[in-house]
Amino acid sequence: MIPSPAERDELLKGFARALFRSDMEALYRVVTPDFLWNFHDGLVTTKTLAGPAAIGEHLAGQQALFSEQRFHEVAYHHAGEVTFMTFRVSETVRTSGERREQRGIERYTFRDGMLATKDVYRKPVMP
């Protein structure tokens, strides 16, 4: 079952809340048991995250890497069986103080009324 746009909004809200709290139990209430997250940071890192341990490790790594990470201009676009999220993210590298800005898009798919995949694509914003 593909959720309606309103149901997707609720799933995505729960997903975001769980991610920002690093709450794997809450996260796995809105994603399928085999949820797959493909991540590219727009620079050099590409990862495929499968399972609570890998996702938790990724979130902890992001918190260790950045002293600040803020998402701006977040908008969801429901299209057929997928949803896209567009955004801008501002990050400060903890060790160097380097600030970076990126624009990105995330592509979500659904299965059985839950999030099944998340594909992240980012690109640096040129000054």
- pLDDT per position as a tens digit, 72-90: 999 999 998 999 999 998 8
> In this prediction, what percent of the chain has a pLDDT beyond 90?
50
Q: State CA 56 to chain mean position distance.
A: 13
Residue 15 has pLDDT above 90, yes or no: yes
Cα-based distances in Å from 24 to 37, 43, 94, 119: 14, 27, 25, 18
> How would residue 64 be classed by pLDDT, with cut points 50, 70 and 90?
confident
Q: CA 104 to CA 29: how far, in whole Å?
A: 25
CA angle at 62 for the pair 100 and 39, rounded to the nearest 5° = 85
Count of structural domains within the chain: 1
Structural domain boundaries, residue 35:
5-124
Residue 106 has pLDDT above 90, yes or no: yes
- Within 8 A by CB and 6+ apart from 60, the residues are 22
> How would residue 59 be classed by pLDDT, with cut points 50, 70 and 90?
confident
Other CB atoms within 10 A of residue 110 CB: 20
